[in-house]
Amino acid sequence: MNVDRKLCPDTERAPFVRQAFELMASGRFATGDGVLKLITSLGFITRKGRALTKQTFARMLSNPLYTGWIVSGEARVLGNHDPLVSEELFQNVQERINKKSRPHKKLNEDFPLRGVVRCAKCTKPLTAAWVKGRSKLYPR
């Protein structure tokens, strides 16, 4: 919060922000949506009394202001306010957010040519899947 032109932690929301960073860094949740739902269910709301949106939550997790830094454009200056989270915790969360999702399994024993064989007209890779019939599954 901005109090008399000085940044001070919001006593109501600061513990929720710290907990959100810790939960994201822990790796117990596959996405930030799970953390957002948990934090919201614990009572984390905006100053206007609304629930946090996904976009606002994502922006909060990537804001270096919580580590004590003030960033404006290319300039990055260490502020004189107390950080809510450590630099190490912030970096762990950033790595977790920016990490690529787990790649899909490309090879399948049932369909070894899936993705390799291409259409002669459009050159897109052909797909394959199991189709449910009346009594069993059929490859297609």
Domains in the chain, ordered, with CATH?
2-98 (3.90.1750.20), 104-140 (no CATH)
CB atoms within 10 A of CB 26: 12
For residue range 69-87, list pLDDT tens digits in order.
989 888 999 988 889 999 9
Q: What is the DSSP string of 40-107?
A: HHTT-B-TTSPBPPHHHHHHHHT-GGGGTEEEETTEEEE-SSPPSS-HHHHHHHHHHHHSPPPPPP--
Residue 136 has which token pair? 């069993």
- Average pLDDT of every residue of the chain: 88
Within 13 Å, how many C-alpha atoms sit on residue 133's CB side?
Answer: 6
Question: Contact, 131 vs 99, CB < 8 A?
Answer: no
What's the whole-model pTM score?
0.67
Confidence at residue 102, expressed as pLDDT on a 0 to 100 scale: 60
Q: How many CB atoms lie within 10 A of CB 108?
A: 12
Average pLDDT over residues 110-121: 86
Neighbours of 24 (CB within 10 A): 24
